[in-house]
Each structure stands twice: as C-alpha cells, then as structure tokens.
Amino acid sequence: MEEAVPAKVSIVREQKDIGFVCQDASLRHAMAGLENATRLRMPIHLHGETGTGKELMARHVHELSARKGEFVAVNCGAIPEALFISEIFGHERGAFTDARHDGAQGLARLADGGSLFLDEIADIPLASQTVLLRFLDSMEVRPVGGKTSKKVDVQIISATNSDLTDRVAKRQFRADLLYRLNAYTLKLPPLKLRQDFSAIVKRLMDELAPQAAITDAAINHLRKADWPGNIRQLRGVLQRALVRRDMEYIDEVSFDDLVIAPEASSEVCDGCRGHPLNQHKCREIRQKYVSAGHNIAETARALGLSRTTVYKHVF
Ligand SMILES: Nc1ncnc2c1ncn2[C@@H]1O[C@H](COP(=O)(O)OP(=O)(O)OP(=O)(O)O)[C@@H](O)[C@H]1O
Ligand SMILES: [Mg+2]
C-alpha cells in the first residue's frame, strides 16, 4: 500500500499568474515582501532602466493592495513646473490666472482610496518637492487657493530610472523626500540580466502573434544582444521580425537591427578556442560575467573560482 504523503507545511506561496513574467529568482525574492509592504501602506519605490516594467509593476502593486479606489498615474516630468502643485493637489475656482473656472480636485484626491503613481520622480521641481514632502507626512490635501485640508488615504508608488542618490548629492533632489518615498524599494533588473529571458520572449510572442512560432536559436540570438531599451525594445524587435516573416515564425536570421554585445558575441576566450575540453567552463564563466553585470568579483564568488581565473577568461 502506498504510504500517505504527509502534508508539507510550506511558507512558499504558490505563484499566481500576475499578468506578466516574473520567474527571475532575484526579482521574485525582491517581490516577496511587496504584499506585506502594501499592507503596511509603505510607499513603494520602483527603480529600473527604461522599459524594465516599472509601470506594469506599479499596477501590480495597486492590485496587491486590493484598494477599491483608482490607480492614478502622474508623469512628473510632463507637468510644467508652474502647474505641478495644482495638478497634484487641485485648486479652487479662479485660484490663479488660467485656473479652471470651476476649480479642480487634483490627482491626489482622485487617488483617494486607491494608488497614486508618481512616475519619473527625478523630474519633480525642487520647489514642489517641499510641498509633496509635507503631503506625504500628513496625507492632507489642500488645494491651491483653498483654506481647508482634506485627509486622503492613498497608496504611494513612485518610479525612476535616474540615480536619485546622485541627484541628492548634487542637491537636485531632497534627501528627506527620497527617504519618504523609498520606504520599500524594488529594483527591476535590466533585461540582459534576467534569468527568465526566454519566458519574457515567449510571453511577448503570445501577445503579439499567438499563432507564430519562435525557434530556440532565435531566442539564444536575442539573448546575446544589448538591450538598452529593455523589454520595450525587445517587443519592437519581435514586432519587426514578425512583419518580415509574414507573422508566421521567427528564426535567428529574422532580425535586421540587433546589436550584439561584443563580449557575448565571441563565445569563448582566445586561450580556450581550439581546446574543446576547456570551452564549456569558459562559456559558463563568460555567461555568468554578463549576467553578473560585468562584475569580476561577483562572477568569481558565484562560480567558486578565483578572480584571476575569471579575469583570464573574460578579457
Ligand atoms: N515582466 C514583463 N513581462 C512581459 N512584458 C513586460 C514585462 N515588463 C514589462 N513588459 C512590457 O514592456 C513594456 C515596457 O514596460 P513599462 O512601460 O512598464 O516600463 P517602464 O519601466 O515604465 O519604462 P519607462 O522607464 O520607459 O517608462 C510594456 O510593453 C510592458 O507591457
Ligand atoms: Mg514608465
């Protein structure tokens, strides 16, 4: 008779389909605390290069928070400096020249009961940073020209692709505002370093052309490219390849505009070329070096090798 398997007590929750690919171990690890952080209403800060999925993640945070209110996104870089405060906090009727005749409630109040996504926060004008800081401290909104404040309940999410600590050092961004916003920071890795690269390619293919196929060779070819525009750029490259192939399939010669990173294009180092026994190890070291963001020490640590050995194979 088969022995009954005891139910395993596990603290690893099943991964739900969250609508986008997230199988990368480092990202999943970083996301583990997200739900608790939103439960504690901590401001969430998303940092990552352009096209790494910050907006998608911000929407996910809103869903995690299970708030009934709206998800209100504000592109801080797109609002003229003079209008920033009134856009966010609203204004009373006729508060300033050009103010809307009937006043405006502002985005912070619109997000009451929901989430306010402050995108591109590095672009918030310095003068407005002070007002925003005051709001984050009190969660009270007072419209321009108004006499009374109203308390709101808003999940704050912010995002940037800039190095904010550098901007703080240059006095372009207030340190106290940064510490208010980045209570819980999630870093979105660049596409080049993601372990779930092929899952991302397949997900994009499903979205773009579910009937079309992509070969493993094509995915490997894509993996070697440089991706300064990250997932957004990958989507564009796949779209163009699909158009070239009449939406039927993509193979490794379907791409017309891929820039292959020089260190990844030569698969083994000069010393190992022609030595089949060394090539496997060499390839592993070079791949790890790329995925470790060109960091010799990290590559050496991950593979249990000396730095000198890694150095020999990557240069
Ligand atoms: N994990 C993912 N799986 C599938 N598609 C993704 C994923 N992350 C992002 N994308 C897609 O990549 C594109 C860019 O994502 P998004 O706009 O969220 O990036 P971003 O970091 O906000 O970029 P930017 O800094 O330029 O504003 C979108 O089309 C999005 O659907
Ligand atoms: Mg964005």
Q: What is the pLDDT of residues 236-268, one digit of tens each?
A: 999 999 999 999 999 988 997 776 655 444 577
CATH at 121 = 3.40.50.300
Domain boundary among 239, 260, 281: 260
pLDDT at 102 over 80: no
Higher pLDDT, 91 or 93: 91
236 and 296 assigned to the same domain = no
| Helix ranges, 154-245 (H) | 164-169, 175-181, 197-208, 216-223, 230-244
240 and 278 assigned to the same domain = no
Distance CA 104, CA 93 (A): 8
CATH at 245 = 1.10.8.60
Q: Is the CB of 182 under 6 A from ligand 1?
A: no
User: Is residue 19 one of the residues assigned to a domain?
Assistant: no
Domain boundary among 139, 157, 187: 187
167 and 34 assigned to the same domain = yes
* Residue-number span of the structural domain to which 300 is assigned: 265-315
User: Is residue 1 one of the residues assigned to a domain?
Assistant: no
Of the pLDDT bands very low, low, confident and very high (cuts 50, 70, 90), residue 16 is low
82 and 43 assigned to the same domain = yes
pLDDT of residue 295: 78
pLDDT of residue 265: 43
Q: Is the CB of 69 under 6 A from ligand 1?
A: no
| Neighbouring C-beta atoms of residue 162, cutoff 10 Å | 14
Residue 5 to residues 9, 10, 11, 14, 116: CA-CA distances in angstroms?
Answer: 12, 14, 18, 19, 47
Residue 287 to residues 52, 199, 223, 269, 294: CA-CA distances in angstroms?
Answer: 21, 18, 10, 12, 10
Pocket test for ligand 1, best of 26, 50, 52 (most atoms within 8 A of CB): 52
201 and 279 assigned to the same domain = no
287 and 197 assigned to the same domain = no
Of the pLDDT bands very low, low, confident and very high (cuts 50, 70, 90), residue 3 is very low
User: Is residue 172 one of the residues assigned to a domain?
Assistant: yes
User: Is residue 15 one of the residues assigned to a domain?
Assistant: no
- The count of structural domains within the chain is 3
**Is residue 177 within 8 Å of residue 129, measured between CB atoms?**
yes
241 and 274 assigned to the same domain = no
Q: Which residues surround ligand 2, an ion (CB under 5 A)?
A: 54-55
User: Is residue 149 one of the residues assigned to a domain?
Assistant: yes
User: Is residue 16 one of the residues assigned to a domain?
Assistant: no
Q: Is the CB of 221 under 6 A from ligand 1?
A: no
Of the pLDDT bands very low, low, confident and very high (cuts 50, 70, 90), residue 106 is very high
Domain boundary among 187, 220, 238: 187
Dihedral of alpha carbons 12, 16, 19, 20, sign: positive
Q: Is the CB of 200 under 6 A from ligand 1?
A: yes
Burial class of residue 313 (count of CB atoms within 10 Å of its CB; 0-12, 13-18, 19+): buried
Distance CA 82, CA 248 (A): 51
CA 31 to chain CA centroid, nearest Å? 11
Dihedral of alpha carbons 7, 10, 12, 18, sign: positive
234 and 302 assigned to the same domain = no
Pocket test for ligand 1, best of 56, 59, 194 (most atoms within 8 A of CB): 56
Q: Is the CB of 189 under 6 A from ligand 1?
A: no
Residue 41 CB-half CA count within 13 A: 11
pLDDT of residue 165: 92
Distance CA 194, CA 216 (A): 17
pLDDT at 7 over 50: no
Nearest CA to ligand 1 atom 28: 232
Q: Is the CB of 174 under 6 A from ligand 1?
A: no
114 and 35 assigned to the same domain = yes
Nearest CA to ligand 1 atom 25: 50
User: Is residue 182 one of the residues assigned to a domain?
Assistant: yes
Ligand nearest to the CA of 161: 1
30 and 63 assigned to the same domain = yes
Residue type, 67: R
221 and 155 assigned to the same domain = no
**Is residue 195 within 8 Å of residue 24, measured between CB atoms?**
yes
Instruction: Provide mean pLDDT across the span 15-19.
Output: 61
